[in-house]
Amino acid sequence: MDAKTYIQRINEICDCLEKHGICNIECPLKDYGCGIPKSSTDIGKVIKIVKEFNEKKLAGICTVCGRNNKDLIEQQQIKFCPGCGTKIDNDEEKIN
């Protein structure tokens, strides 16, 4: 990932978190200078966060079928998408 793409991606993450009203509450980059870590030992961690951040997952939208499960996640703590069976906290695991 080049520097321009990295900065654009951090900006997308910040916009997403601000849109959901959780910027300084649940931001995975808040302990890392908002994507510009002060310690060189944190650079790998920050790059991983930037690469793996998923707005759909944050918003409760299933990344497989597109169903919005936010209310069910919050109210009933569902673990699998009712639409397709995809496990909520690991998009690659499914039940049959």
User: Could you tell me if 92 and 77 lie in one domain?
Assistant: yes
Q: How many distinct structural domains can be found in the chain? A: 2
User: Could you tell me if 66 and 84 lie in one domain?
Assistant: yes
User: Could you tell me if 36 and 72 lie in one domain?
Assistant: no
User: Could you tell me if 49 and 67 lie in one domain?
Assistant: no
Tell me which residue range forms the domain holding 16: 3-53
Q: Residue 41: its pLDDT value, please?
A: 94
User: Could you tell me if 48 and 77 lie in one domain?
Assistant: no
User: Could you tell me if 46 and 68 lie in one domain?
Assistant: no
Phi-psi region of 54 (alpha: psi -120 to 50; beta: other; left: phi over 0): beta
Q: What element of type H or E holds 1? A: none
Whether residue 95 contacts residue 80, with contact meaning beta carbons closer than 8 Å, is answered with: yes
User: Could you tell me if 36 and 19 lie in one domain?
Assistant: yes
Q: Residue 90: its pLDDT value, please?
A: 42
| 25: its two tokens | 């509450």
pTM exceeds cut of 0.75: no
User: Could you tell me if 10 and 44 lie in one domain?
Assistant: yes
Q: Please write the tens of the pLDDT for every residue from 44-96.
A: 999 999 998 887 777 787 878 888 888 888 889 898 999 999 888 644 333 43
